[in-house]
């Protein structure tokens, strides 16, 4: 069976966790292929809310194997916290049983967090992601496969500690890394996760050859891609479809489906240009922030809010070639008299339909909007009743009122991508799938 990819189609925080959680029911493997604990995926099942940062969102299904892939940078201490919370909730210890860490993934150490904390420009999460990727690129970083060889090599430990201390001093951090503490940290990682460190690329390749379904899970979003995003206000990895198989350790020929996840509006965390940005103090921007609970899962920072940006979404599709679009948080727009969609930009008196390359140029762009009729606010129970009706009666988007169907159809038309699912609340059940589409299957009960 082919692999499927789930990607953020905006600036992150689009609701990937929920979509991955839904698709994982049909999968035997869920693989994170890039990023680290700068990601935050939230899954709501009934009264239980899970906030995941490194563990793949397929964790909620006990038949689904979990991989922290080759292209990731992993903080072992954060991973232990996540696993401890999962154990408290379910009694399960999946590490080494159905959760595996790629031996090719890079290790985030205390040094990386200290170095990242000195950033005052990009507005990173401070989790050490960028410095760890930098170490990998410079070929001085430590991968999980390297730990056993380094931990008893005093010369290698001393060289690493000296390098780290020197680099901290260059960014004004007056803290020394000593080789004994580095050795202690590495030994703990080996003792705690040794049974889970595996050649995961080989394992996933075998699964695909055996006809199993594999779900490749992205973090962040397309507009935060290090190469294709709004540089320099981006993340430190390639977030796109092109890296999904590479970061998982398999070849791209395995992928047939690629789902882009977009909110029915737009949000952004951190610094950088945001053409459709609205005020958080009043009006629709405040409405989106409050009703949508727009605070970062990882950092708790308030997200900037704005209208749906089709220029950015088409750019995202150009890079990734989505076979289906999942529109999330449509319910948040309920209660607004009118809805707007950005269909182009005005820059220096000219109309453009492609994002400029530089952030300086993008910051000068003014959105060109088309306006649509709004729809009433509904309670979560009412939205779930609508979603259940769609599933039980097989009506797809016909379960929606005409005004909502027209909004969805306009998104499809402008994006050039079929909408395959629409989220109308945080709960797993609060989604309406296109009739006969890839999300059109019964909602599973929780296994925890």
Active-site positions?
13, 41
Measured from the Cβ of residue 402, the count of other Cβ atoms closer than 10 Å reads: 10
Taking CA 326 as the corner, what is the angle to CA 320 and CA 332, rounded to the nearest 5 degrees?
130
Closest CA to 15 of 328, 306, 429: 328
Structure token digits, residue 14: 């689009």
């Amino acid at each position: 069976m082919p692999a499927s990819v789930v990607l953020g189609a905006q600036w992150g925080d689009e609701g990937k966790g929920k979509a991955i959680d839904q698709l994982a029911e049909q999968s035997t493997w869920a693989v994170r292929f890039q990023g680290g604990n700068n990601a935050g995926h939230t899954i709501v099942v009934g009264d239980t809310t899970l906030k995941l940062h490194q563990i793949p969102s397929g964790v909620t299904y006990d038949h689904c194997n979990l991989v922290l892939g080759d292209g990731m940078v992993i903080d072992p201490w954060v991973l232990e916290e996540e696993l401890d919370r999962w154990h408290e909730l379910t009694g399960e210890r999946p590490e080494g049983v159905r959760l595996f860490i790629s031996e090719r993934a890079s290790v985030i150490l205390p040094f990386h967090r200290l170095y990242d904390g000195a950033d005052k420009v990009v507005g990173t999460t401070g989790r050490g992601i960028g410095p760890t990727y930098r170490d990998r690129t410079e070929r001085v970083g430590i991968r999980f496969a390297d730990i056993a060889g380094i931990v008893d090599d005093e010369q290698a430990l001393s060289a690493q500690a000296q390098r780290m201390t020197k680099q901290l001093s260059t960014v004004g951090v007056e803290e020394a890394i000593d080789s004994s503490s580095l050795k202690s940290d590495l030994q703990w990682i080996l003792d705690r996760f040794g049974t889970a460190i595996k050649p995961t690329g080989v394992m996933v390749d075998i699964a695909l050859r055996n006809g199993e379904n594999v779900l490749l899970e992205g973090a962040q979003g397309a507009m935060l891609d290090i190469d294709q995003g709004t540089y320099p206000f981006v993340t430190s990895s390639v977030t796109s479809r092109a890296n999904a198989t590479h970061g998982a350790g398999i070849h791209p020929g395995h992928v047939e489906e690629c789902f882009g996840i977009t909110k029915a509006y737009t949000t952004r965390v951190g610094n950088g240009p945001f053409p459709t940005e609205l005020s958080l103090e009043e009006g629709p921007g405040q409405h989106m922030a409050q009703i949508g609970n727009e605070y970062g899962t990882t950092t708790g920072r308030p997200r900037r809010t704005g209208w749906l940006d089709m220029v950015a979404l088409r750019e995202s599709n150009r890079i990734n070639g989505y076979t289906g679009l999942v529109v999330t948080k449509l319910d948040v727009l309920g209660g607004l008299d009118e809805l707007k969609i950005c269909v182009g930009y005005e820059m220096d008196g000219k109309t453009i339909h492609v994002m400029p390359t530089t952030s300086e140029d993008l910051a000068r762009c003014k959105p060109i909007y088309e306006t649509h009729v709004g729809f009433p606010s509904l309670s979560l129970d009412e939205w779930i009743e609508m979603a259940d009706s769609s599933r039980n009666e097989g009506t797809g988007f016909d379960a929606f009122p005409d005004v909502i169907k027209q909004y969805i159809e306009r998104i499809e038309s402008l994006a050039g991508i079929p909408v395959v699912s629409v989220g109308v609340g945080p709960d797993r059940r609060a989604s309406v799938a296109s009739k006969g589409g890839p999300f059109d299957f019964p909602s599973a009960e929780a296994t925890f």
